[in-house]
């Protein structure tokens, strides 16, 4: 098992390119199951999560080829059963349920694992399938759905903590081959949902309203193959921007959609960091004395939960008292205890973290608990005095393509080594 060593205190400079979006790639790859014809997807990041998804497609009978970020999938003949040993490592594997139901009119998918940031149920997914006319059973750790015929319906997918992104994806993929018109109310507005809708429309689907709270899907008889470029990963982009704020002397993040990271750049600007936005690049510069911040995570276009941990790392050395409230996944604070090991002063009050900025952090052995928490620990290590050892970096490899190498290109003293 690998760990990452960071020798802190070295300023970052230069430019870096963002990889394709993990959270777009996974449902788009799943959507290739909706057609017998070949599909080609460009910009798929080289991550353990995308590897797992390709393994699932292969298990289901698809022919898969991968080369330099381009994935070709031909799903001429597929099965509709994805057992636990195939899906157990990744929560997003549940997004094969929608396309299997849409194409095969039945599916059995084991309830997946892959995440420790709190309860993330799929009840809204199943509610959507039932509205389309499917019978749903959950037994023996498996979700079984069956429908001789899918029929369009009006479905509200807003949950307790806001719209469900994967639920919107799943229902949208099932509905494209349903009879009639489906209306998803309370839909997730994330750019990744829009990217999936664009991919499906290229396949011949008829989807309107993606990116709003109301998506309208007119079912079609069949979909065809297509070619598509995945959007840039907005969370990776935001993570590098925070890295530039923590210890940069001026960095530029390229291959970026500025609108997708607006809430992050606005938060950094509120802290006092100069931000320069171009068409597909954003630069961030040091400001000498950053300011404390009050921040609340919200569904897109609000500040993303996936950037909360990284902001905790930044605000841990920002003068004054900062307050972050986590409205999406209230239990998503496992990084706080590890940051405190490095000298951060943070207190949790329910779903709110109160952060008293300190003058300096100190390198320490820390343990990653999930994908974004691990990124926060790496960012803190860039700032800390001495050496920070981050264990369990397989979490990082789920969602960041060559994070250590990219940071090295910017001047970080960071290396990946085998744990003894």
Residues 6+ apart with CB under 8 A from 98: 30, 125, 129, 169, 170, 171, 172, 173, 174
User: Rounded to an integer, what distance in angstroms lies between the CA atom of residue 208 and that of residue 345?
Assistant: 47
Q: Exposure of 111 by Cβ count < 10 A (0-12 exposed, 13-18 middle, 19+ buried)?
A: middle
Residue 193: C-alpha distances to residues 169, 293, 317 (Å): 6, 29, 35
Instruction: Report, as residue numbers or ranges, the catalytic residues.
Output: 115
Cβ neighbour number for residue 283 with a 10 Å cutoff:
18
Between CA 400 and CA 238 the distance in angstroms is 12
Radius of gyration of the chain (CA): 21
What's the maximum distance between 2 C-alpha atoms anywhere in the chain?
Answer: 64
150 Cβ neighbours under 8 A, 6+ residues apart:
101, 102, 105, 132, 133, 134, 174, 175, 177, 178, 179, 219
Q: Would you put residue 211 in left (φ > 0), alpha (ψ -120 to 50) or beta?
A: left
Contact indicator for 172, 196 with CB cutoff of 8 Å: yes
Provide the 3-class DSSP secondary structure of residue 161.
coil
- β-strand pairing of 275-277 with 294-296: unpaired
DSSP state letter for 17:
E
Cα–Cα distances (Å) from 388 to 239, 311, 397, 409, in that order, read 18, 18, 18, 19
Phi, psi of 283 (to 5 degrees): -110, 145
Beta strands in 96-151 (DSSP E): 106-110, 135-139, 142-146
Closest to 42 in 3D by CA, of 63, 72, 62, 65: 72
Virtual torsion, Cα 305, 310, 316, 318, nearest 10 deg: -100
Give CA angle at 355 (242, 331), nearest 5°: 85
């Amino acid at each position: 098992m690998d760990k990452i060593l960071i020798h802190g205190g070295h300023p970052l400079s230069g430019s870096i390119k963002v990889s394709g979006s993990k959270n777009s790639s996974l449902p788009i790859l799943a959507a290739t199951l909706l057609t017998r014809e070949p599909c080609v997807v460009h910009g798929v990041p080289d991550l353990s999560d995308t590897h797992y998804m390709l393994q699932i497609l292969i298990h289901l009978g698809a022919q898969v080829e991968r080369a330099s970020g381009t994935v070709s999938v031909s799903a001429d003949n597929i099965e509709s059963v994805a057992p636990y040993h195939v899906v157990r490592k990744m929560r997003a594997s549940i997004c094969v349920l929608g396309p299997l139901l849409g194409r095969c009119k039945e599916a059995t998918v084991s309830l997946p694992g892959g995440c420790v940031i709190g309860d993330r149920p799929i009840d809204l997914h199943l509610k959507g399938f039932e509205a389309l006319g499917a019978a749903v059973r959950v037994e023996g750790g498996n979700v079984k759905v069956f429908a001789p015929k899918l029929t369009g319906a009006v479905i509200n997918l807003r949950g307790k903590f806001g719209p469900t992104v994967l639920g919107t994806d799943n229902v949208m993929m099932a509905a494209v081959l349903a009879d009639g018109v489906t209306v998803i109310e309370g839909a997730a507005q994330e750019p990744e949902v829009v990217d999936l809708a664009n991919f499906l429309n290229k396949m011949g689907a008829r989807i309107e309203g993606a990116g709003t709270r109301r998506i309208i899907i007119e079912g079609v008889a069949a979909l065809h193959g297509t070619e598509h470029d995945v959007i840039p990963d907005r969370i990776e982009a935001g993570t590098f921007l925070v890295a530039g704020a923590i210890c940069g002397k001026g960095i530029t993040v390229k291959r970026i959609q500025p609108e997708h990271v607006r809430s992050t750049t606005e938060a950094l600007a509120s802290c006092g960091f100069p931000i320069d936005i171009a068409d597909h690049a954003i630069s961030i510069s040091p400001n000498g004395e950053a300011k404390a911040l009050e921040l609340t995570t919200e569904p897109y276009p609000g500040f993303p939960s996936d950037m909360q941990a990284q902001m905790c790392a930044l605000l841990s050395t920002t003068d004054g008292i900062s307050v972050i409230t986590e409205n999406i996944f209230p239990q998503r604070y496992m990084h706080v205890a590890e940051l405190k090991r490095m000298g951060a002063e943070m207190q949790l009050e329910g779903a709110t973290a109160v952060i008293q900025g300190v003058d300096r952090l100190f390198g320490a052995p820390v343990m990653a608990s999930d994908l974004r928490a691990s990124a926060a620990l790496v960012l803190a290590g860039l700032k800390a005095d001495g050496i920070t050892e981050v264990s369990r970096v397989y979490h990082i490899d789920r969602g960041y393509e060559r994070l250590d190498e990219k940071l090295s290109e910017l001047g970080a003293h960071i290396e990946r080594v085998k744990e003894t």
